[in-house]
Structure 1
Amino acid sequence: MPLLRVPAILAVTVLLTLDAGLHAQSTKEPHVGYVYPAGGRQNSVFEVTVGGQFIKEANGVYISGSGVKAEIVKWYRPLTQGEYVGLSLKIRFKREELEEEQKKAGKTDPITDEMVYKAVNVTENDLKEMEIYRKRDADPKRQPNDQIAEELTLRITVDATAELGKREMRVLTPGAMSNPIWFQVSQWEERRETEPNDETPDTVIGSTLPVVVNGQIMPGEVDRFSFAGRKGTRLVIAADARELMPYLADAVPGWFQAVLALYDSQGNEVAYAGAFYYRQDPVIYYEVPQDGTYVLEVHDSIYRGREDFVYRITLGELPFVTGIFPLGARADQDVTVELQGWNLVETQLNVRARVDRNRPIRWYSIPQTDKVSIRFPLRIDMMTEIMEQEPNDGPETAQAITLPVIINGRIDRPDDEDVFRFDAVGRVVAEVYARRAGSPLDSAVSVTDATGAEIGFNDDFRDEAEPLITHHADSLMTAAMSGKGPYCLTLKDAQRKGGKDFIYRMYVRAPRPDLDLRVVPSCIMARPGSHVPITVHAIRREGFDDPIHLSLVDPPEGFSLSGAVVPGKADQVKLTLTVPPVAPKEPFLLEMEGQSRGSSRHRRFTRPVIPAESMMQAFLWLQIVPAEQWAILVNGTPATKPPLELLPVDRINIRPGGSTLLGAKLTAKYPPPNELRVELTNPPKGISVEKVSPEGPGLIVSLAADAAAAESGQEGNLIFEVVREWTPAPTEEIPKPQTQRRSLGILPAIPFQVAGQAQTRRK
């Protein structure tokens, strides 16, 4: 891959007035929980607030794509409980002290608040912050969260030519980069809610349509907006809430579940939406019957709220797609795509299905007006494709198919069934791709033999590669065909629903073991010459259990992977990315791929490794959510080389219940060997560093494996961190100094296997 640089791919703004501590390693990684407003219009300048934690030292902002810049204006954090109590006690004790002095002096003049504040150097701003704390603390509905307690004000500049759509935004600190949050670029007028608007509707919209309204929902709050509706307007009201923040770590449901309601000038509810089909963000379509003032209402479904309950609502007579047919096409073939929806001017587009080696989904665009285009995805495959042909509602009228094949069709009406007849021997897989493509179809698939006996059935299967889907309604059925046939394959909606939007794409084929790959984190900020731990997740399909060999795709010189194999049957591996001592100063993108090298059971193939972020949902579940880019920013002074190296080995073989010895060579005279520690980062289950002992000119690292916890055959990588641990000499000021610890760096990952005998095989 050629080196991709700013501004073509990334936009990064970094403050230039930094002190000498710019490149000090951050001890706590920055976290961002929301940005408000979560977007803005082309050709505009505006300020936004980013809520997060450990962002005080922020010195830059990363925004993917071109045409959007950010400047840090200020940082703010309300008083903590400890700070408030400290100030309160300080004021109280000083008042008591002054009153005692007055008493001793025989004076009776009252001690005023101003006298006390001046004596303890409490400023007007301190008093203001104390009042803010009291009000927040007294609010019984408030749900404090340290992860969004800090606020960063940014000044955003969006160019007139900035590409429309979603961007990734991250906050940079001297030693780290935050998790991503979504930021949207629109082409419409933007408005912000004006509080209070719970009882009296906000008039910020007026007669301006189309418009994007930005707001935040607080506990128990309902936001209301009035606007002028004109007779005949085919109004689309689409909310973005979960679209902006897919998961909330400490909320149930695990996202902001927005609800929309529309009222006419008499106060009658004329439209309501709590979702759009299975998608959690609601959409309303309403044909305005007469001129008048209408009121739009938005709130959380169970009236929760907090600063990170951010929404963007787009209102206007705008095109909205409810369905795409077909959902995909065969590579290098022409296909006519039909769009269904509201306010569509163009509903057909002839496209040539092009293969994208990185991802199976390819995006296309169809203009609607001079200002509006619609982007839609197509899934590109290599198999033969056919269209479903009606009537095919039963075995007597079943459509004949030849395997392998992809069938593009619809469940046209409630209780509709599509039946297909085929001959086959051996195992056959039927996989439905519908809900994952945005279709409301809740598929159910069954297969019967020549006697009518059912030999296979599936309703739902969970696709771990699709973490944002809340109802995994697509089917994946495997059945064994004992004779040639004929067999009948039936597809229907499990809820007995149907309609023009109930579109599907069904694969009927032999089993095809495969996988999807994800790399976490999706954005890395590293020092030159360092080794950065990363995690690759493997989502294995249909019994694929071979090792996966990982590699970077055309990386800049000096970048490499250590421990770059996902062991057979493993669903993840931790490895390290080596950053060279001299690296590009600008942000750039890396790509990674994983390869199955083939075996007696599985074919040879290559799959891209998609960048992703690990997000917690509702206190409990961790979701691996795909991101757009794997971005790298090499920043700071070069990393100090660790003062030791482990002697090279291909793999460390560890015996359960025993010890395994590793040799280490010292590469520096300082620190002394007795101050060096070697520790495992995220150690595998049951494996630990038992001790580190000086041995001749080097060290011996002893690994221990708990026989009860470390399973025989367990494989993966060990990632060691070198730490200096020492106690300073006592002084008069500090007669009993505490032990100090300092990380000296991460070593490249080394493969290991828990085996029957403890041995280390040299290269």
Structure 2
Amino acid sequence: MKDQDLPVGGASRRASFAVRRARQAGGDGRRRAAAILACLLLCVSALAQQQPRNPELAYAYPAGCRQGAEIDIKVGGQALFGAEQAFVSGSGVTATVLGYKRPLTIGEANRLRERLEEAAKKLTGEARSLRGRLTDIGALREAAREAGITDEQLRALDEFRRLRTDPKRQPNPQLEETVRIRLSVASDAAPGLRELRIRTPLGLTNPVRIHIGSLPEVAEVEPNDRLPDSCIGSSMPVVVNGQIMPGDVDRFTFAARKGMRMVIAVSARELVPYLADAVPGWFAAVATVYDADRKEMPVREVRGPGPDPTLLFDVPADGEYTLEIRDSIYRGREDFVYRVAMGELPCVTGVYPPVVRAGATTTVRLTGWNLPSPAVAVRLDEPGVHDLATALGSTASVGPMIRLAVDDLPVVPEKEPNNTGAQSQPITLPSVVYGQIGRPGDADLYAVRGKKGDRLVADVMARRLGSPLDSLVSILDSKGRTIAVNDDYEDKASGLITHHADSYVMATLPADGTYYVRIADTQAGGSAEHSYRMRISAPMPDFELRVTPGSIGMRAGGTVPVTVHALRRDGFDGEIVLALKDAPQGFTLSGGRIPPGLDRVRATLTATPRDPVEPVRLLLEGSATIGGKTVRRLATPAHDMMQAFAYQHLVPAQDWLVAVTGRFWPPPPRVADSDSVVRLPVGGTARIEVPRVGGALAGTVALELSEPPPGVTIESFTMRPGGGVLVLKADGSAKPGARGNLIVNAFITRNAGRAANDRQGQARRVPLGCLPAIPFEIVAR
């Protein structure tokens, strides 16, 4: 294959080969450095024209595997060329990269067509013989042999034609490249969601979700929109894997017996949480059951915090039924993947009480279908929110995600009747109360005593636990007048919830006396499953941390920016000190402070100068002084995902992984003292020493601020032997008191000369990474 026909990764491979040759060349260090720089410039130029800088994954299909099985899956995304390794979170699952594929570009397809045409002319002497005989497979293959075109290239050309001529399909560069991966799952591998990442020469991808299960699995066989797929038959329980393409409807026939209590649990958004370029921002799966006469069957549909449906189907008679899966508005593409668990499977739809005291054994009642027992004793020692299946020590249940809260405060059940102020239930602060909005129009009131100036908090968990309750919370005075009210409160820690239906309110009490905390359903709904957990207390300041991105690819010895988000609770606004915990030798964090009042800060991570073979799992810890005590919290890794072109969500990841590749060359810049706070006066300047700058190429290094605060710029960067001086400037628009970290990117600048698509003298910039984060504060002059 010629250079112009190379796959996307060709430029990277050619540049890598050239760098190796340059390193082997004779001459002094400066000449070798210049040769390597030229190669790097070619590589960066080619990659910038062809691919985004970071490799990204969009989906995996099939999106799971059974324990003890081996399966080949396809993972789609972009910038995946040169895929080297695949990693699955947890133990018991190994992933092996089998191959990489991408569609032809327009230019490649045109060149193949031209070669076929030329070959056909030679064979027949007719100028347009091939165009008139495209359906003649024999003639096409004969021309391909004459032109030296392989069967694989012919298939790629046919796929290109089909994709370009399908009126329902639109080009999606973010889905075009695929990597085949073989999953091998041990028989004792823990079931549940796992994360799959791929390592490429450009770094480590974001994770995509796959599910390890215990049930037999089948995959759809297309076409199945008109003639249903019979892959299920009577073999239940089973998990069905499928993909929805534009306008697609997948249908599956299955045999069922009268009296069966079937659970049909769809996983779609659970696998691909958000779509950046689609509205509403996820695959909105719709599931319907029909009988043999195409009559829609009555089912009960239940949903947890997310939109994936679970159908509860009482089979009315022996016979054949059809399950239909589609998107709510008939969209579709490769990342519209789903899994459906079907059969007489256990399905929990509710738990009561929804909260238990930490360290105490509590019997909880379960509602749902096919449950072995309606009551289970649980004991959990760690406060927080736990998946119910994990809390029960079982993963057999399918269906909506139900969670159980664990608190270390006194846990108090509601006592009916408590619908009015006169009937209100008195409680002592602090307490966690739980109850049910048991019928439409119901309300629960709790009475507390307070003094003038006290602050009172009511914090509800319902929707976040899987309850259908859409809470409305009010704080009333003794005469029933509203002091504060809240319907929905956005909890950024719950990145997978889009309708934040839980309430949170904090109010300052205007006088001594009795106050009432009232909770009801905003939509006047109510049932036994409309349960809630509500903390009523004085403010309890605290914080959580999220660190993004959850996957990092970097060169050995290099530095990259990371963002740490502070999720502050109950008015906590103090400083948070950040540090790596038990990190491997050589990894360092710079800019490890979140100033008081700020919700996020950009810090930097510097990698070990060595090249680890496997990705490294890092831990980030934050500490703060609250009420005279040191409070420590581990950061949860997350990915900042876009939904429907506009909304951002911090979606939690299981691991914070860093993949370190070969040694950084030339060495990136450093700062003399990256821990000292640079105080920058409004209208003035500040000098920063940069003692190490790019080795032999120091004279070509340029610096640039990334996302600087308003009014802050680089006034100058002056080189001198062995280092340089960076001068920062704050103009009149800079705000005194602003604090945080400055992120400074470094580049090598060189004149690239004249190329086919360049103007003479056009400058090229090769990124070197960034300087360690520089803490700053804007001060009045």
What is the CA RMSD across the aligned residues, in angstroms?
Answer: 3.2
Give a deviation string over 1:267-324, Cα, whole Å, max 9, x none: 2101367762653001100111210000000100000000110000000101111112
Is structure 2 residue 556 aligned with structure 1 residue 528?
yes
**Aligned partner of residue 699 in structure 2, secondary structure:** helix
**Aligned partner of residue 340 in structure 1, secondary structure:** strand
Following TM superposition, by how much is the alpha carbon of 1:188 offset from its aligned partner in structure 2, in angstroms? 0.7
Is structure 2 residue 68 aligned with structure 1 residue 43?
yes
Partners of 2:156 and 2:567 in 1: CA distance: 49
Q: 1:620 to 1:345 in 2, by over 3 A?
A: same
Q: 2:574 matched to which residue of 1?
A: 546
Q: 1:227 matched to which residue of 2?
A: 254
Determine if contact 1:261/1:271 at 8 Å carries over to the other structure.
Answer: no
Partners of 1:21 and 1:329 in 2: CA distance: 63
Is structure 2 residue 731 aligned with structure 1 residue 703?
no
Partners of 1:316 and 1:151 in 2: CA distance: 33
Q: 1:746 to 1:643 in 2, by over 3 A?
A: closer
* Uncovered stretches (5+) of structure 2, i.e. residues with no partner: 1-15, 21-39, 48-52, 129-138
Partners of 2:629 and 2:485 in 1: CA distance: 27
Determine if contact 2:705/2:714 at 8 Å carries over to the other structure.
Answer: yes
Q: 1:740 to 1:462 in 2, by over 3 A?
A: closer
Counterpart amino acid of residue 153 in structure 1: R
Give a deviation string over 1:226-265, Cα, whole Å, max 9, x none: 0001111100000000000000010001000000000112
Is structure 2 residue 214 aligned with structure 1 residue 204?
no
Q: 1:162 to 1:696 in 2, by over 3 A?
A: closer
* More off after superposition, 314-323 vs 442-451: 442-451
Q: 1:563 matched to which residue of 2?
A: 591
Q: 1:347 to 1:706 in 2, by over 3 A?
A: farther
Higher helix share: 2
Counterpart amino acid of residue 75 in structure 1: Y
Partners of 1:20 and 1:669 in 2: CA distance: 23
Partners of 1:735 and 1:209 in 2: CA distance: 66
Query: 618, 627, 633: which one pairs with 2:653?
Result: 627
Q: 2:681 matched to which residue of 1?
A: 655
1:369-380 equivalent positions in 2, closer than 5 A: 377-380=403-406
Is structure 2 residue 595 aligned with structure 1 residue 608?
no
Q: 2:37 matched to which residue of 1?
A: none
Partners of 2:498 and 2:604 in 1: CA distance: 33
Is structure 2 residue 161 aligned with structure 1 residue 134?
yes
Number of residues paired by the alignment?
A: 722
TM-score, structure 1 length as denominator? Answer: 0.87
Q: 1:354 matched to which residue of 2?
A: 381
Partners of 1:176 and 1:722 in 2: CA distance: 19
Q: 1:644 to 1:372 in 2, by over 3 A?
A: closer
Q: 2:10 matched to which residue of 1?
A: none
Q: 1:742 matched to which residue of 2?
A: 766
Following TM superposition, by how much is the alpha carbon of 1:468 offset from its aligned partner in structure 2, in angstroms? 1.5
Q: 1:34 matched to which residue of 2?
A: 59
Q: 1:647 to 1:454 in 2, by over 3 A?
A: closer
Determine if contact 2:542/2:626 at 8 Å carries over to the other structure.
Answer: no
Q: 1:22 to 1:623 in 2, by over 3 A?
A: farther
Give a deviation string over 1:726-758, Cα, whole Å, max 9, x none: 347999xx996754433344322110122224x
Q: 1:429 matched to which residue of 2?
A: 457
Is structure 2 residue 159 aligned with structure 1 residue 159?
no
Give a deviation string over 1:409-454, Cα, whole Å, max 9, x none: 1111222211222211222111111111111111112232222323
Partners of 1:221 and 1:712 in 2: CA distance: 57
Determine if contact 1:91/1:116 at 8 Å carries over to the other structure.
Answer: yes
* More off after superposition, 78-87 vs 302-311: 78-87
1:384-403 equivalent positions in 2, closer than 5 A: 384-403=410-429
Q: 1:648 to 1:303 in 2, by over 3 A?
A: closer
Is structure 2 residue 736 aligned with structure 1 residue 712?
yes
Q: 1:367 to 1:677 in 2, by over 3 A?
A: closer
**Aligned partner of residue 110 in structure 2, secondary structure:** helix
Query: 81, 85, 105: which one pairs with 1:56?
Result: 81
Is structure 2 residue 756 aligned with structure 1 residue 722?
no
Is structure 2 residue 322 aligned with structure 1 residue 295?
yes
Counterpart amino acid of residue 532 in structure 1: V
Is structure 2 residue 518 aligned with structure 1 residue 490?
yes
Q: 1:644 to 1:523 in 2, by over 3 A?
A: closer
Q: 1:320 to 1:280 in 2, by over 3 A?
A: same
Counterpart amino acid of residue 32 in structure 1: L
Determine if contact 1:274/1:301 at 8 Å carries over to the other structure.
Answer: no
Q: 1:171 to 1:696 in 2, by over 3 A?
A: closer
TM-score, structure 2 length as denominator? Answer: 0.85
* More off after superposition, 182-191 vs 75-84: 75-84
Q: 1:179 matched to which residue of 2?
A: 206
Following TM superposition, by how much is the alpha carbon of 1:98 offset from its aligned partner in structure 2, in angstroms? 10
Following TM superposition, by how much is the alpha carbon of 1:512 offset from its aligned partner in structure 2, in angstroms? 2.8
Q: 2:136 matched to which residue of 1?
A: none
Query: 478, 491, 495: which one pairs with 1:463?
Result: 491
Following TM superposition, by how much is the alpha carbon of 1:212 offset from its aligned partner in structure 2, in angstroms? 0.3
Partners of 1:97 and 1:506 in 2: CA distance: 82
Determine if contact 1:528/1:639 at 8 Å carries over to the other structure.
Answer: no
1:580-599 equivalent positions in 2, closer than 5 A: 580-582=608-610, 585-598=613-626
Partners of 1:735 and 1:388 in 2: CA distance: 76
* More off after superposition, 285-294 vs 335-344: 335-344
Q: 1:476 matched to which residue of 2?
A: 504
Q: 1:88 to 1:43 in 2, by over 3 A?
A: same
* More off after superposition, 128-137 vs 202-211: 128-137
Q: 1:136 to 1:609 in 2, by over 3 A?
A: same
Query: 636, 641, 644: which one pairs with 2:662?
Result: 636
Following TM superposition, by how much is the alpha carbon of 1:679 offset from its aligned partner in structure 2, in angstroms? 2.7
Following TM superposition, by how much is the alpha carbon of 1:115 offset from its aligned partner in structure 2, in angstroms? 8.2
* Uncovered stretches (5+) of structure 1, i.e. residues with no partner: 1-18, 104-111, 758-763
Determine if contact 1:143/1:306 at 8 Å carries over to the other structure.
Answer: no
Give a deviation string over 1:632-683, Cα, whole Å, max 9, x none: 3334346653366446661222234444332332477612x43222233444
Query: 206, 219, 225: which one pairs with 1:192?
Result: 219
Q: 1:84 to 1:417 in 2, by over 3 A?
A: same
Partners of 1:438 and 1:751 in 2: CA distance: 42
Give a deviation string over 1:181-227, Cα, whole Å, max 9, x none: 10101111101111111111110000000000000001111100000
Partners of 1:266 and 1:92 in 2: CA distance: 52
Determine if contact 1:463/1:472 at 8 Å carries over to the other structure.
Answer: yes
Determine if contact 1:346/1:368 at 8 Å carries over to the other structure.
Answer: no
Following TM superposition, by how much is the alpha carbon of 1:524 offset from its aligned partner in structure 2, in angstroms? 2.6
**Aligned partner of residue 126 in structure 1, secondary structure:** helix
Determine if contact 2:385/2:403 at 8 Å carries over to the other structure.
Answer: no
Percent identity among equivalent residues?
A: 41
Q: 1:232 to 1:721 in 2, by over 3 A?
A: same
Partners of 1:22 and 1:282 in 2: CA distance: 54
Q: 2:468 matched to which residue of 1?
A: 440
Q: 1:615 to 1:667 in 2, by over 3 A?
A: closer
**Aligned partner of residue 85 in structure 1, secondary structure:** helix
Q: 1:680 matched to which residue of 2?
A: 705
Determine if contact 2:590/2:675 at 8 Å carries over to the other structure.
Answer: no
Give a deviation string over 1:48-97, Cα, whole Å, max 9, x none: 11111111210000100111111111211122233323444565688899
* More off after superposition, 439-448 vs 291-300: 439-448
Partners of 1:206 and 1:362 in 2: CA distance: 32
Following TM superposition, by how much is the alpha carbon of 1:461 offset from its aligned partner in structure 2, in angstroms? 1.4
Q: 1:583 to 1:388 in 2, by over 3 A?
A: farther
Partners of 2:477 and 2:218 in 1: CA distance: 61
Give a deviation string over 1:131-157, Cα, whole Å, max 9, x none: 222221121111321011011111111
Determine if contact 1:548/1:595 at 8 Å carries over to the other structure.
Answer: yes
